Structure 1
Amino acid sequence: MKFLAHYALVAASSLALSGAAPHPTAKPVTTLPATALQPYGRTLLNQQKQLELISSAAHLGFSFEGTECRVFATLPAGQDHNYLQYELDGVYQKRLRVAGGAAPLVITAPGPGKHTVWLYKATEAHTGAIVLDKITGQNVRALPNPRLPLIEFIGNSITCGAAADPSEVPCGTGVYHDQHNAYLAYGPRVARALHTNFVLSSVSGIGIYRNWNSEGPNMPQVYEKLDFQEKGTRQWDFKTYSPQVVSIALGTNDLSAGDGKTSRLPFDSTRYVSSYLQFIKLVKSKYPQAQLALLSSPMASGQNRALLQRCLTAVQQQTNAAYPASKPVATYFFQPMQARGCSGHPNVEDHAILAKELEPFFSKLLR
């Protein structure tokens, strides 16, 4: 060790004597621990001081200098793979496949300088959490979330952005979450267009009183759970956020004919309306000041579309009568859509159409 120190001293002296300028050194790589991140969405800082991204499009921002940074992400036991996706300097890039025990994810910038990254969970809560341990890079720093109004989007697979993106794994291949793209779903698109924050509270196949191919657990039964699992042991802290608008888009799966295998009774409009009213009571207990917006389904057409609109109108009228001092409930009825994604879902281009359709509606509510 003394020899190395002496050699370094001699080398430095030689440079000084010769008049040569020392080469500039690269800025040191720094580490941003999970505890320093400032996430948005349903997340958890676990006992190991790791950040678990749980809900669809749960996200966080950071900056770095130079041409690359590294994201150290792992998966809890039982998961084979999951997906993150990211923006670099305000431009959406791509999805990143996270595999258990894999090397860190490398994010590369096209040139030197300071860069910003916003990292999103591409999949829904039922897919499983993605665990972030740390981020490394030159002068890596956490970014705070903008102080903007918040919209919470409650919904099903459509709101999740499920089955929307077959660009890497074609429809009918892989596993269900291989085509998830929460970032390009209609809710985050609307939020970005209107310069608001957003959270997604969404579960594929879920409904107000029954699900796509089962009687439950439905959204009212899992909404208070951190991971939207009926048997989940952790409750979500609703004091974390105060949304200005709560959007509810549930009905597609209640109306569904099911999977053709599970026994299923005809749609019960009375039960749907009463269950919806109970769910609104629950939401209002969490966010008493929020404006409620009830959305229909772009997948409903013909008689089902008319039936859903009548049910939502009944929910709207009865809620307004029950809460005369609150902001009136708003409704929006989608135009029917021939979806082009996997298994009859909207694809990313369809979500762009839905978002454009919704922008004036939400813009008015935010004003």
Structure 2
Amino acid sequence: MKLRNTLLLAVLGFFCFGCSSLKSDAAENSVLPATTLKPYGRTMVNDAQQLELITSAAHFGYTFEGTESQVFASVPDGGTHGYLQYELDGKYQKRVKIAPNATAPVLVKAPTAGKHTVWIYKATEAHTGPIRIEKVVGENVSVVQKPDVPLIEFIGNSITSGAAADPSEVPCNTAEYHDQHNAYMAYGPRVARALGADFVLNSVSGIGVYRNWNSDGPTMPQVYEKLDFQKDTPHRWNFDKVTPQLVSIALGTNDFSLGDGIKERLPFDSTRFVNNYIEFVQQVKANYPQAQIALLSSPMVHGQNGATLENSLKRVKETIDRRYPSDKPVALYFFQPMQANGCTGHPSVEDHAVMAKELEPFFRKLLAQ
């Protein structure tokens, strides 16, 4: 009898060990550490093992079961607030403000139970500061990685960033400049989604090719290879992380700007613009030797300036095509002029929809080549 009881206890102990193990696995599966995420766009894992979303529309995906998941996000101490925005089961939801010293997680709620797919995007720019992701919590959360589809890199300025496009929550001319940013609704992500492609945005408000909106620099060629587009940052971007099939460059709006009307602004120098643009395209090609290059004009540059911009882009194309005869020719696209309806002279969310629709056939043809 004693031997029988001993055996029974041993069997029960085995099953309890098994139950404890399963319980532990279930608990572990409810937390997705930031280091396990598969992000797109310029990001980095910091010393605290947080994922820093740096560039506009930097994004990651995950799935969960049930009706709610939690994303633990923050901004650096002493930094300004930022915005995330998200998509649930293929449908855009909303922007979420991430305030300094925020402790409550971002709640992602589904209307019904079941398995759901979420994509989290950074709505604001690199210069606004990173948004840090610590973890994702939910029932059976798991990482989502996109299928192998073409990747488009969009290089540009505030327009490409979706800056000042969305006053639906914070009216124009109130609060901070980045309170109306909406990278998800910018023309680049819209085009990519329409074509079944993925995308990264490498764009900075106010930046130009040889001069910026109200300064002589640092310009895009000077900061493009820096992780966060800051000239003095010690971190460089690792271009081996992405291989775009197509690189779209939309610069020039700020080179033509008259600035704030207070600081001295010399007339537009077409020679400097063209020479700097040629050097920048060569810089991009050095990082992506196989990528198709497309140069876009600006819907915000009209009249004689618009004609000068288009002629300058033609000169850039001619030079690059001559220097790289075995590569695909540089593609050009000239926007229809637009009167912007967003904040501070920027395209609105609705304007970006028009721009994306206009660009869609152009990019579709390039991706098919």
Task: With the length of structure 2 as denominator, give the TM-score of the two structures.
Answer: 0.91
Q: Secondary structure at the match of 1:343?
A: helix
| 1:332 and 2:333 correspond | yes
Alignment of 1:160-239 (within 5 A): 160-239=161-240
In structure 1, C-alpha distance between the alignment counterparts of 2:327 and 2:28, rounded to whole Å: 54
Q: Secondary structure at the match of 1:133?
A: strand
Contact 1:243 1:290 in 2 (8 A): yes
In structure 2, C-alpha distance between the alignment counterparts of 1:27 and 1:152, rounded to whole Å: 38
2:252 aligned partner: 251
Q: Deviations over 1:27-51 (max 9, x none)?
A: 9971000011000000001121110
In structure 2, C-alpha distance between the alignment counterparts of 1:222 and 1:146, rounded to whole Å: 30
**1:78 positional shift:** 2.3
In structure 2, C-alpha distance between the alignment counterparts of 1:149 and 1:317, rounded to whole Å: 26
Contact 2:74 2:99 in 1 (8 A): yes
Contact 2:86 2:93 in 1 (8 A): yes
Contact 2:158 2:203 in 1 (8 A): yes
In structure 1, C-alpha distance between the alignment counterparts of 2:116 and 2:100, rounded to whole Å: 28
Alignment of 1:32-51 (within 5 A): 32-51=32-51
For 2:48, the aligned partner's letter is Q
| 1:65 and 2:65 correspond | yes
What are the ranges of 5 or more consecutive residues in structure 2 without an aligned counterpart? 1-25
In structure 1, C-alpha distance between the alignment counterparts of 2:166 and 2:352, rounded to whole Å: 11
In structure 2, C-alpha distance between the alignment counterparts of 1:146 and 1:305, rounded to whole Å: 39
2:86 aligned partner: 86
Q: Secondary structure at the match of 2:312?
A: helix
In structure 2, C-alpha distance between the alignment counterparts of 1:284 and 1:349, rounded to whole Å: 33
Point out the more displaced range, 252-261 or 152-161.
252-261
Q: Deviations over 1:232-289 (max 9, x none)?
A: 1100000111111000000000011111111110000000000001101111110011
RMSD (Å), alpha carbons: 1.1
Q: Deviations over 1:184-224 (max 9, x none)?
A: 00000000000001000000000000000000000000000
Sequence identity (%): 66
For 2:304, the aligned partner's letter is Q
1:120 aligned partner: 121
In structure 2, C-alpha distance between the alignment counterparts of 1:346 and 1:146, rounded to whole Å: 31
1:290 aligned partner: 291
1:19 aligned partner: none
Q: Secondary structure at the match of 2:69?
A: strand
**1:80 positional shift:** 3.2
Task: With the length of structure 1 as denominator, give the TM-score of the two structures.
Answer: 0.92
Contact 1:158 1:185 in 2 (8 A): yes
What are the ranges of 5 or more consecutive residues in structure 1 without an aligned counterpart? 1-25
Q: Secondary structure at the match of 2:241?
A: coil
Contact 2:127 2:229 in 1 (8 A): yes
Hey, which bits of structure 1, 4+ residues long, moved more than 4 A? 26-29
1:22 aligned partner: none
In structure 2, C-alpha distance between the alignment counterparts of 1:295 and 1:366, rounded to whole Å: 16
In structure 1, C-alpha distance between the alignment counterparts of 2:294 and 2:39, rounded to whole Å: 25
2:142 aligned partner: 141
For 1:76, the aligned partner's letter is P
**1:146 positional shift:** 2.2
In structure 2, C-alpha distance between the alignment counterparts of 1:321 and 1:157, rounded to whole Å: 31
For 1:47, the aligned partner's letter is D
Number of aligned residue pairs: 342
1:342 aligned partner: 343
